[in-house]
Amino acid sequence: MPVLLAIALHAEARPVIERFRLKQDASSGLPVFRRDEVWLTVTGTGSMKSAIATACLLSRLLNRVERDEDTVLFNLGIAGHTLKAEEGPVSVGDRFLANKITERSTGRSYFPDLLARTPLAESVVTTVERPLDRADAGTVEPGLVDMEAAGFYQAAATFLPPHRIGCVKVVSDHLETRRLDKNRVSELIAGTLDEFEAAVEAYRSIDDGEPDVLTDADLQLVGDIRDRLRLTASRHRMLSDLARSYKLHTGSDLPDLTRFTHVSVNTRQEGDAQFERLRGILSVE
């Protein structure tokens, strides 16, 4: 199951790259780092850049994996918090999983589906176009303020179900607009990686709840028959459902259908005849 990470800054990405021992993937036009099933892209700052890089990574990878929806995708980064430092209980270094992401420019909100149990606390995140001053803290919903989450989420949700999209933010400041030292940023991210990794694992463990009685081998066989008999998409779906019906009603494996992967058909009528033979074999009524 691929794990995709979209991170705005190199300083945020560095501890993640080290933790997962990722290597730069020179084949991409984007800054992409990977190892085995883990892919990380450095998106740059801002909602638009995050959306573009996330969409690029997804469109590139989802063609490679057989089951797209097994993929989990996270945005990880620092964020300000609307609470003043002395107001508590939120402190620099605290980390949160976003349960609501609001794009301030449009007023639209997005909701990752929180099916996994993670060790992280939760917060709303408001995505702004430029850093928010402390004096403007009251203009957004109390919680975290960042510059990427809304763009990231919208791009991700174009490809993935909402329970496979996560957004984790580490509090870096209380909206005091001062430039953070890169090493400090890396430290903040490094300090959250145990919980972040646990959250990723929790997301990976979610079952989509759509088990198929047909095994991968069954699906391969049905696909081979489709190719051999030149079945239309509709007929292919019917054949898959006949095979499911057979297994569900008999409780048995599929009968031997390999001969249908060797026949050759030249006309539609020949294909139809073979399909009817299949239907007869798989019929359980």
Partner 1 sequence: MRNLSDFGASSRWSNFSHLYIEHGAKEYPLTRRIRERFAKARVVEIDDYKTVFARPRQKFQAQKESMKLILAVKKDRFLYDGSGNSQDFSLEDFHYNTLTFNCVYNCDYCYLQGMYPSANIVVFVNLEDYFIATREGIRGRSNPAQPFYLCISYDTDLLAFESVVPYCRAWIEFAREEPDLLIEIRTKSAAYRAIRDLPSTDRVILAWTLSPELVASRYEHGTASLRRRLEAVRSAIDDGWPVRLCFDPVLAVPSWASLYGDLVEEVVQRIDPAEVHDVTVGVFRLSKHHYQRMRRQRKDTPLLYSEFAQEDTTVTYPAERREEMTAFMRKRLGDHFGEERIFAWT
Closest approach, Cβ 187 to partner 1, in A, equals 28
Closest approach, Cβ 22 to partner 1, in A, equals 28
Contact string 12-41 vs partner 1 (x = CB under 8 A): ------------------------------
Closest approach, Cβ 41 to partner 1, in A, equals 21
122 binding partner 1? (CB under 8 A): yes
62 binding partner 1? (CB under 8 A): no
Residue from 161, 193, 174 nearest 17 by CA: 193
- In DSSP terms, 121 is beta-bridged to 96
Strand pairing of 38-42 and 3-7?
parallel
Cβ-contact 31, 88 below 8 angstroms: no
Candidate ranges 53-61, 76-84, 193-201, 242-250; the one touching partner 1 (CB under 8 A): 242-250
Strand pairing of 95-103 and 32-35?
unpaired
161 binding partner 1? (CB under 8 A): yes
Closest approach, Cβ 248 to partner 1, in A, equals 4
Distance CA 58, CA 108 (A): 23
Name the residue nearer to partner 1 (CB basis): 133 or 212: 212
Candidate ranges 57-65, 76-84, 104-112, 168-176; the one touching partner 1 (CB under 8 A): 104-112
Candidate ranges 87-95, 126-134, 209-217, 271-279; the one touching partner 1 (CB under 8 A): 209-217
Closest approach, Cβ 4 to partner 1, in A, equals 16
Among 21, 249, 259, 268, binds partner 1 (CB under 8 A): 249
| Ramachandran class of 271: left when φ > 0, alpha when ψ lies in -120 to 50, beta otherwise | alpha
The two structure tokens encoding residue 239: 């054949």
Measured in degrees and rounded to the nearest 5, phi and psi for residue 22 equal -85, 150
Distance CA 1, CA 268 (A): 39
Distance CA 207, CA 190 (A): 29
The two structure tokens encoding residue 281: 């074999």
Among 162, 236, 238, 272, binds partner 1 (CB under 8 A): 162
Distance CA 110, CA 209 (A): 23
Binding residues for partner 1, rule: CB under 8 A, are 69, 99-100, 109-111, 113-115, 122, 124, 141, 157, 160-163, 206-214, 241, 244-245, 248-249, 285
